[in-house]
Structure 1
Amino acid sequence: MLYRVIDETEAPALVAAFMERYEVVAPVKRGDKYVFSAVDSFDEIALDYPTTIASPKKYLLPAKETLFEFDAENNEVTDYTDEVRPRVLFGVHACDINGLQNLSSVFNDPRYPDPYYAAHAAATLIVGVACMPSANCFCNLMDAEEARAAYDLFLTNIGGRYLVSIGSVVAANVLEAACDVREATDEDRIAFRAATRARQEAFNRDIPDIQEIPMLMDAFHEDEFWEELGGRCLSCNACANVCPTCYCFDIRDTLDPGAATGRRERVWDACTSPQFAMVAGGHNFRPTPASRVRHRMYHKLNGFLAKHDRNLCVGCGRCVSACKVDISPIEVLKFFDRKGA
């Protein structure tokens, strides 16, 4: 990996350079919260944000997306083409970068590549920024506190300047043209290590570090804990809506007035929805909230790991904040901690 250093005061010039060719999406403040939104100026960006309400997932996997259009009267199907705007996701935390990498593992599967996701990904540059964890963050326990790949630039503030990790030639060219880029010195590297240690020490130590989570998910699969946890679930899908790695979707046909033409759309769905596991004939493989919550946690902490060698959950903590009845992976970790006490 190639590392360079720029002054903190040069960040506006870097954003302005990206804006010449790309739409820039970045964290902005909305009330007392933060969201990812398109910006017109660096002044709108809040790089020191704790986390956003929702992840930037929607820019690669829209909540609703047209797949093709059809004409029922003439029995014709037309490929839907949408202009994919070149975009920079600026100020993305490491957990979200790892979340997008997990999505890519699914939608870029060489056996069944998804052309819609691929088009968005190909048009998107990712500029990450290092952060300090909030009370609900546990990305360190999910091995997602560092971004080792899947970004074009990654900025770490080391006191009045940024250590920039360069991940692509395209982004490197923009950086070189916009900023006074210099080689990292020993002083810069020492400051980077200090910033890394400070971040590691800031994680909430009340969240237990559990080893062998996959084995424990299997061992306690039938525990009454799931009935208690799932019994609280409101099936509101708030957890899935804010999650950076939920990728389930439904397919719907939407008819125009007159019902002669329409379009097939892909829309977000969630395994916590009561109808998610319902099949023809009305049978539901997961009819209770408890079975659905257990399935969700199993996939986040075990099922995806078995196939892709990493957790699907990246520990961003958004579901902790979104759930009104305290259902989250943290509750599962605490359960395992009690079992081991």
Structure 2
Amino acid sequence: MLYRVIDRDDLPSLVAAFMERYEVIAPVKRGAGYVFSPVGSFDEICIDYPSTIASPKKYLLPPTETLFEFDAVENAVTDYTEEVRPRVLFGVHACDINGLMNLGSVFADPRYPDPYFQAHRGATLIVGVGCMPSEHCFCNLMDSEEARPGYDLFLTAIGERYLVSIGSVVGANILEGACDVREATDGDRIAFRAATRARQEAFNPAIPDIQEIPMLMDAFHEDAFWGELGERCLSCNACASVCPTCYCFDIRDTLDPGGVSGRRERVWDACTSPQFAMVAGGHNFRPTATERVRHRMYHKLNGFLATHDRSLCVGCGRCAAACKVDISPIEVLRFFERKGADDAC
């Protein structure tokens, strides 16, 4: 990996260089929180934000996406081609970069490549930025606190400078053209190690580090704990709405007012929805909230791991902040910690 150093004052020039050819999506302040949104200048960007309400996933996997259009009178189907705008996702945290990598494992699988996701991903540059964890962050426990592949540039603040990790030729060329780029010195590397250590020490120690999570998910599959979560769950899907790695979708046909033409759309769906596992004939494979909550946690912490060799959950903590009844992977980790303490007794 190639590393360079730029001054903090170089960031406006870097963003301006991106804006010459790309739409720039970056974290901005919205009310009491932060969201990823198109920006028109560097002054709108909050580079040191704690976390956004939702991830930048929607720019690669839109909540609603037209697949094709149809006309019942003409008995015609027309491929729908959306204009894919070249974009830069600027200021993305490591957990979200890992989340986008997880989505790529699904939608860019060479056996079943998804052309819609691939079109968005191919037109998107990613500029990551280092962060300090908030109270709900546990990416360090999900091996997502660092972004290794998956970005074009990654910025880590070291005082009034940034150590820049370069991940692509395109990113390197724009960086070189926009900023006063320097080789990293020993002092820069020492400052980087200090920043990394400070970040590691800032994670919430009340979130337990549990080993062998997949084994524990299987061992306690029938525990009454899941019933307790199910009784609390509102089936509101807030967790899936903010999650950077939920990728389930439904297909629906939307008719125009005349009723003879329309479009087929892909829309976000969630396994916590009561209708998610319902099939033709009215049978529901997961009719209770208990089964749905357990399935969601199992997939996040175990099921994806078996296929892709990493956890689907990246520990961003958004679901913990969004859930009104305190259901999240953090509660599952605390449950396993309690079970360990019970066994020790």
- TM-score between both structures, scaled by the size of structure 2: 0.98
Equivalent position of 1:112 in the other structure:
112
Equivalent position of 2:90 in the other structure:
90
Equivalent position of 1:121 in the other structure:
121
Measure the CA separation in 2 of the matches of 1:27 and 1:258: 41
Q: Residues 190-215 of structure 1: CA distance to partner in whole angstroms, max 9, x if unpaired? A: 00000000000000000000000000
Equivalent position of 2:187 in the other structure:
187
Equivalent position of 2:62 in the other structure:
62
Describe the SS at the equivalent of 1:68. strand
Describe the SS at the equivalent of 2:324. coil
Greater displacement, 75-84 / 96-105: 75-84
Q: Residues 103-122 of structure 1: CA distance to partner in whole angstroms, max 9, x if unpaired? A: 00000011110000000000
Letter in 2 for 1:129: V
Matches of residues 19-58 of structure 1 in structure 2 within 5 Å?
19-58=19-58
Equivalent position of 2:137 in the other structure:
137
Measure the CA separation in 2 of the matches of 1:171 and 1:69: 37
Cα deviation for residue 183 of structure 1 reads 0.5
Measure the CA separation in 1 of the matches of 2:230 and 2:208: 21
Within the alignment, does 1:331 sit opposite 2:331 as a pair?
yes
Measure the CA separation in 2 of the matches of 1:113 and 1:251: 17
Q: Residues 107-160 of structure 1: CA distance to partner in whole angstroms, max 9, x if unpaired? A: 001111000000000000000000000000000000000000100000000010
Measure the CA separation in 1 of the matches of 2:244 and 2:52: 11
Equivalent position of 1:306 in the other structure:
306
Equivalent position of 1:11 in the other structure:
11
Q: Residues 154-185 of structure 1: CA distance to partner in whole angstroms, max 9, x if unpaired? A: 00000100000000101111000000111101
Equivalent position of 2:212 in the other structure:
212
Describe the SS at the equivalent of 2:24. strand
Cα deviation for residue 6 of structure 1 reads 0.4
Measure the CA separation in 1 of the matches of 2:73 and 2:267: 25
Within the alignment, does 1:293 sit opposite 2:293 as a pair?
yes
Equivalent position of 1:75 in the other structure:
75
Equivalent position of 2:269 in the other structure:
269
Measure the CA separation in 2 of the matches of 1:75 and 1:117: 28
Letter in 1 for 2:229: L
Letter in 1 for 2:159: G
Cα deviation for residue 76 of structure 1 reads 1.1
Equivalent position of 2:102 in the other structure:
102
Equivalent position of 1:196 in the other structure:
196
Q: Which runs of 5+ in 1 are unaligned?
A: none
Measure the CA separation in 2 of the matches of 1:161 and 1:257: 56
Equivalent position of 2:239 in the other structure:
239
Equivalent position of 2:159 in the other structure:
159
Measure the CA separation in 1 of the matches of 2:84 and 2:108: 17
Cα deviation for residue 222 of structure 1 reads 0.3
Measure the CA separation in 2 of the matches of 1:119 and 1:212: 37
Q: Residues 293-323 of structure 1: CA distance to partner in whole angstroms, max 9, x if unpaired? A: 0000000000000000000000000000100
Q: Residues 313-341 of structure 1: CA distance to partner in whole angstroms, max 9, x if unpaired? A: 00000000100000000000000000001
Measure the CA separation in 1 of the matches of 2:173 and 2:190: 26
Letter in 1 for 2:76: E
Cα deviation for residue 73 of structure 1 reads 1.4
Q: Residues 7-33 of structure 1: CA distance to partner in whole angstroms, max 9, x if unpaired? A: 010000000000000000000011221
Number of equivalences: 341
Measure the CA separation in 1 of the matches of 2:323 and 2:160: 37
Measure the CA separation in 1 of the matches of 2:16 and 2:256: 41
Q: What do you get for the CA RMSD once the two structures are aligned?
A: 0.5
Equivalent position of 2:250 in the other structure:
250
Describe the SS at the equivalent of 2:113. coil
Letter in 1 for 2:24: V
What is the identity percentage for the equivalent residue pairs of Structure 1 and Structure 2? 84
Describe the SS at the equivalent of 2:127. strand
Cα deviation for residue 71 of structure 1 reads 1.1
Measure the CA separation in 2 of the matches of 1:257 and 1:203: 53
- TM-score between both structures, scaled by the size of structure 1: 1.00
Letter in 2 for 1:215: M
Letter in 2 for 1:154: F
Measure the CA separation in 2 of the matches of 1:240 and 1:19: 31
Describe the SS at the equivalent of 2:149. coil
Cα deviation for residue 260 of structure 1 reads 1.2
Letter in 1 for 2:26: A
Equivalent position of 1:320 in the other structure:
320
